[in-house]
Amino acid sequence: MNYLERFQVKPGTSVKLKDIDPAFKDKYDNKEAAAQETTHYQQRMNELQEVLYVERQRSLLICLQGMDTAGKDGTINHVLGAMNLQGTRVASFREPTAEEAAHDFLWRVHRATPAVGEVVIFNRSHYEDVLVVRVHNLVPKDIWSHRYDQINDFEQVLAEHNTKILKFYLHISKDEQLSRFKDRLDDPTKQWKISEADYAERKFWDDYTQAYEDALSRCNTNYAPWFIIPADHKWFRNLAVARIMVEYLESLNMKPPKATVDIAKIRREYYAAEKA
């Protein structure tokens, strides 16, 4: 079974994250065993993204979600960073600015969606408005509970305008999160990532899990599918995301545009000049 099918949440599924092993690593024993395949998929992804860029027939939106330390930044750096910066963009969504808060919750998100030929990666996304907003009671339930349908409608609008949507939930265990917090404390190059809220949020782990399960279940469609990526092993996370990206882009059967000049004539002129 390809990874596109293996890790996709099937529409209509009620997700229970406790039933999914965050330490799954398929047939690979370690990072070294997966390295060659990961490199292959990164290179192939770069080639396919170039075709998407020059074809100018569609765009691609990638949403990354996960608990703190799940590896959103790492996925961008090690996997999606393999794509050409020309035609690729990252958008992050933190606490709304005063201007953003003065509009509906999707306003700032819609402005960041990809243009034709472009790939945009959302580091966190519109799903924050049914996650942190829900867990911390930032708006009443009768407001956030309607947002699942609004998100589905929003994503359908994008899909109908030929924006392809892939959504990745990076699935880590609570123990692995604690281990990564410790790494940040011990590594001076990572200490800038630490905030007092990191440990404070851990007491809401179960609440976030329930919120994610509802988002993964209620906002999972054929036009905007969720993929649950085991992420306790960073190297397997990278391999899985890269492979899914390649399998999906290959399924689009993209073709570069035909030449707009007389190639045969230019080739003759080239060889004539070479012999002169």
Classify 74 as helix, strand or coil. Answer: helix
Burial call 144-170: b when 16+ CB within 10 Å, e when fewer: beebbebbbebbeebbeeebbbbbbbb
What is the Cα–Cα distance from 92 to 21, expressed in whole angstroms?
Answer: 28
Structure token pair of residue 88: 């690729």
What is the Cα–Cα distance from 231 to 216, expressed in whole angstroms?
Answer: 16
What is the Cα–Cα distance from 215 to 150, expressed in whole angstroms?
Answer: 12
Beta-sheet strands, E only, within 55-195 = 59-66, 88-92, 119-123, 163-171
Q: Residue 273: is its pLDDT beyond 90?
A: no
- pLDDT on residue 87: 93
Pairing of strands 226-230, 59-66: unpaired
Residue 42 contacts residue 82 (beta carbons within 8 Å): yes
The upper half-sphere exposure of residue 272, i.e. CA atoms within 13 Å in the direction of its Cβ, equals 6
Task: Using pLDDT thresholds of 50, 70 and 90, give the confidence band for residue 183.
Answer: confident
| CATH, range 3-275 | 3.40.50.300
Task: Using pLDDT thresholds of 50, 70 and 90, give the confidence band for residue 42.
Answer: very high
Residue 81 contacts residue 38 (beta carbons within 8 Å): no
What residues contact 30, with CB distance under 8 A and at least 6 apart? 235
Q: Sketch the domain layout of the chain as residue ranges.
A: 3-275
CA distances from 224 to 20, 52, 268 (A): 21, 18, 48
- pLDDT on residue 266: 67
Output the CA torsion 70→73→90→96 (10° steps).
60
What residues contact 273, with CB distance under 8 A and at least 6 apart? none
Residue 4 contacts residue 249 (beta carbons within 8 Å): no
* DSSP H or E stretch at residue 236: helix 234-251
Give the model confidence (pLDDT) of 47-96 as tens digits.
Answer: 999 999 999 999 999 999 999 999 999 999 988 888 988 899 999 998 89
pTM score over 0.75: yes
